[in-house]
Amino acid sequence: MYDYLIVGSGLYGSVCARELTDAGKKVLVIDKRDHIAGNVYTKKIEGINVHIYGAHIFHTNNTKVWEYVQKFATFNRFTNSPVANYNGELYSLPFNMYTFNKMWGVVTPEEAFAKIEEQKKAAGITEPKNLEEQAISLVGTDIYEKLIKGYTKKQWGRPCSQLPSFIIKRLPVRFTFDNNYFNALYQGIPVGGYTKMVEKMLEGIELKLSVNYFDNREYWNTAAKKIIFTGPIDEFFSYELGNLEYRSVRFQTEILEKQNFQGNAAVNYTDADTPWTRIIEHKWFEFGKDEHGNELPKTVISKEYSSEWKPGDEPYYPVNDEKNGKLYQQYLAKALKEENVIFGGRLGEYKYYDMDQVIALALQKVTELVEQ
């Protein structure tokens, strides 16, 4: 009999497993995949740590979380600065003075600000009610049309007018020359990859891979006093109220016989017609050097295609709009009645969390559990 069965070895599950074990609890982690680390999993291909389930750039303002992850990995000084490619025109991201200069030829922050105000006024937006209005009121119609509209439609499969405005607020808008995508005190990628970091978190903890909780849930429900479930909350309840909507992503990964394909870790294709949303060139997350300091002869890229989730697909992004929010509340009400089950992580809580938020929530949850 275990104190805790943890379903899923992503960041939420692995942090809980580490902390509960260190607090003297007997823990078992199971994962349906044949590897640990959930969607932060990285795999070495051609000497490069490939982000198999999409790019993950660790960034946080939470000093406690930053200090916590240092226990399990050394972080490099990677700073995310994606480039937007709109039909061959390149723009700096996030939206900053380099972007404004390229878009309008403006030189000073005052000129950029005036341009945005003018476009915002012409669009007649006072109180933004959705992503489209929010975007226009932040950066004006030109940037919205070229860098946001097509990308967002591809990414979410819905027009910007039907999406919540908080999604676009993830991106900073700056009147300075600064291409750092995140407003975060701390940022980096674990040296050696995320898998190595999670391996270290799970050191000495009992783990069973390729084990699906749902294949034998009656058995697993009796194996531990409590369960920490990090899979989709609607799947836990057999989708009985209907399924929550997710976006899924398909990755087309290629090994190229060249050293440098696009000169940057991430290039977003922001027009509506290019079928992929972005291309990731994984070596630039770690500066393209192998362990001996040599330039790697090859490169690995992944094209990302976004699609609506259907049963059998991997869920990646919860669609946090009103309709799904209401359904989630109903599932949450059911979850709260499950005294011995804790739901956590992006899928367990159906929230578009970043990695640092997931870690902070896991640490908080374990503190609560241990104090009980």
Tell me if residue 278 is catalytic: yes
Q: Is 147 in the site for ligand UDP (CB under 6 A)?
A: yes
Of 181 and 236, the one with the shorter C-beta distance to ligand UDP is 181
- Residue 336, classed as helix, strand or coil, is helix
Q: Is 179 in the site for ligand UDP (CB under 6 A)?
A: no
Would you call 246 exposed, middle or buried from its count of C-beta atoms within 10 A (0-12, 13-18, 19+)? Answer: buried
What burial letters (b/e) apply to 335-362, b meaning 16+ CB within 10 Å?
beeeeebbbbbbbbbbebbbbbbbbbbb
Of 21 and 187, the one with the shorter C-beta distance to ligand UDP is 187
Q: Is 170 in the site for ligand UDP (CB under 6 A)?
A: yes
State the amino acid at position 144 in one-letter form.
Y
Of 129 and 170, the one with the shorter C-beta distance to ligand UDP is 170
- Out of 206, 271, 321, 354, the active site residue is 354
* Minimal distance, residue 270 CB to ligand UDP, in Å: 5
Q: What's the rounded Cα separation, in Å, for the pair 166 and 320? A: 9
Kindly tell me which residue out of 42, 96, 134, 270 binds ligand UDP, with binding defined by CB under 6 A.
Answer: 270
Q: What is the helix, strand, coil percentage profile of the chain, to 5?
A: 40, 20, 40
Q: What's the rounded Cα separation, in Å, for the pair 113 and 176? A: 11
Tell me if residue 18 is catalytic: no
Q: What's the rounded Cα separation, in Å, for the pair 195 and 39? A: 10
Kindly tell me which residue out of 21, 152, 179, 302 binds ligand UDP, with binding defined by CB under 6 A.
Answer: 152
Which residues between 65 and 94 bind ligand UDP (CB under 6 A)?
84, 93
Residue 155 neighbours by CB under 8 Å, 6+ apart: 247, 277, 306
Choices 69-77, 167-175, 184-192, 224-232 (CB under 6 A): range interacting with ligand UDP: 167-175
Q: Is 143 in the site for ligand UDP (CB under 6 A)?
A: no
Q: Is 96 in the site for ligand UDP (CB under 6 A)?
A: no
Can you give the binding site for ligand UDP, defined by CB under 6 A? 84, 93, 147-148, 151-152, 155, 167-168, 170-171, 268, 270
